[in-house]
Structure 1
């Protein structure tokens, strides 16, 4: 186990084109789950937890770790399963999501696997709308479920989706209505958050679920003789997506002369270990950590302003 923990700490800085490393873990049963290593800061045996009065039942307590106080969420309970019961033999995966450091309580941590995003698939159809999966894959012929952590966090600690006064002006909103924005994100919660934010700005939103779907959509548009950069004010894309990640999507867009001038904003919860050099390498115009509605709205407003006279 020590080797796995050491590997997590070493590999969180790795960035590969259309590849990811998953840390495999279990909750209560034998089902395997995975989390992107890029989001993992550390893996520990469950530390002493302090209960917080009136906290969400999913929050098992807070822990003092390396000088900071971190909330510890029971990932099994958060996804509708029975709680992880034996804290002494359990583990905590310390992660950074959406600029927040959070610990997830799990029963055991297995190992790290290196995969291609093409091997990561959307949840099977027929699983309904209330599941907590954002993707699935297979490792050694066993199904691995990837939990939609953004859905979990939105339920445990909902964030405001409102835009503060002063971000929008009547002039900007009048210009916004003639613009469309393409958003690409595999998390249904994230798509809804971004859509509601942009609707407040006033732009029309087209929402797609992964990088491959977005690339096919843009190519079909280009095949019809349309220029995506004229059809869309910008594309706001997640980085972690099944089948094709945001890095690869951006690189493909830049390599196609028919769409290479499309403005691309990478919008991701990979905040703490994000590699800025990768953004420049694939040719993205901007990067923003999820989910800060004022910041996102401001980027769209700035883009609308930059289009004056064009």
Structure 2
């Protein structure tokens, strides 16, 4: 590869409460709609305020302010609000926000990880300084997991004894900045008794890959998120493929976006496979394909 992997990221900025700005990647967004009359959903989470009609289909709408712990929008505020229709984790979800601000362009190297002091309940994956304003990037996966806890349940996948033993013999590294995504990945491997290492950033993953190689037991399979603060999945894959000194792992990149563009770019930077997360069967089958190259 002749040039460093770098893909700009466009973010939609919006307000939930007060003047504080939040952001979400535009690749997640299908459309921005003015508020419309919603159909109530009985027995739903308090933040799910109904369903909207989007291109002939019913899409659940979540009051994002209420979902992350701010006061819910009043009836009067809803009339002036916007619905951001997203395509995440293979489903369309609408998010009601107080006001849409603008779209900006940045890259993941500019995104700072959130302070550890925020704790495990913060719905933030990163912080971005834009002309002195701190933009908080929302952890949409965590938000959805809190609203729909059943989405965290991992379906049972059947592996033969040979397949299970094959995966147990490999050195596997998982990397994802989302706590929810890490749990899903770990649960799948734990259920099959498959060992692994796990980290939350691309920079840490690269260090671990180098250390494991130097200690004589290189990583066989790397499963990495694409969208991460600092060193994202694209650059992690590119840096590995551009380093002839390291035994090359089988690289599986994954994303919550249903985006052909994201998956195509993953292949361009050297990933062996690119998956739209999360599907346990697809993940294990991809690992088994990687095992044939690692053995």
Deviation (angstroms), 1:18: 4.1
Q: Cα distance, 1:181 vs. partner?
A: 1.3
1:41-80 → structure 2 map (5 Å cutoff) = 41-80=30-69
Contact preservation (8 Å) 1:38, 1:273: no
Aligned counterpart, 1:159: 151
Give the Å deviation of 1:307.
5.2
* Counterpart selection for 2:21 from 2, 17, 32: 32
3-state SS, counterpart of residue 208 of structure 2: helix
Q: TM-score, normalised by structure 1?
A: 0.87
Q: 1:120 to 1:160 in 2, by over 3 A?
A: closer
Q: CA deviation at 1:26?
A: 0.3
Residue 235 of structure 2 is matched in structure 1 by 248
Equivalent residue number for residue 13 of structure 1? none
Counterpart of 1:113 in structure 2 is 104
The CA deviation at 1:260 is 5.8
- Helix, strand or coil for the counterpart of 2:237? helix
Q: Report the TM-score, using the length of structure 2 for normalisation.
A: 0.91
What is residue 232 of structure 1 aligned with on the other side? 219
Question: How many Å apart are 1:285 and its aligned residue?
Answer: 0.2
Match of residue 270, structure 2, among 258, 265, 283: 283
Task: Establish whether residue 293 from structure 1 lines up as the match of residue 280 from structure 2.
Answer: yes
Determine the C-alpha separation between the residues in 1 that align with 2:31 and 2:118: 32
Cα deviation for residue 257 of structure 1 reads 0.8
Give the SS at the match of 2:196: strand
Cα distance change, pair 18–225 in 1 and its aligned pair in 2 (3 A): farther
Match of 2:138 among 130, 133, 147: 147
Cα separation, partners in 2 of 1:53 and 1:214, compared to 1, 3 Å: same
CA distance in 1, matches of 2:43, 2:59: 16
1:103-252 → structure 2 map (5 Å cutoff): 103-157=94-148, 158-159=150-151, 161-165=153-157, 167-222=158-213, 224=214, 226=216, 231-252=218-239
Could you give the per-residue CA deviations for residues 180-239 of structure 1, whole angstroms, max 9, x where no partner exists? 3111111011111101111223321211112122123223444x264xxx5333101111
Q: Deviations over 1:120-171 (max 9, x none)?
A: 0111121112111111111120111111111111121232543435x31122
How far does the alpha carbon of each residue in 1:41-73 deviate from its partner, in whole angstroms, 9 at most, with x for none?
111111221111111111111001111111111
User: May I ask how many residue pairs the two structures share in their alignment?
Assistant: 288
Q: How far apart in 2 are the matches of 1:273 and 1:32?
A: 29
Question: What stretches of structure 2 of length at least 5 have no aligned partner?
Answer: none
Q: Cα 1:235–1:56, aligned 2, differ >3 Å: closer, same or farther?
A: same
Selected match of 2:9 from 20, 26, 41: 20
Alpha-carbon contact 1:279-1:287 (below 8 Å) kept: yes
How far has the Cα of 1:78 moved from its partner?
0.8
**Residues 91 and 105 in structure 1, CA contact (< 8 A), matched pair in contact too:** yes
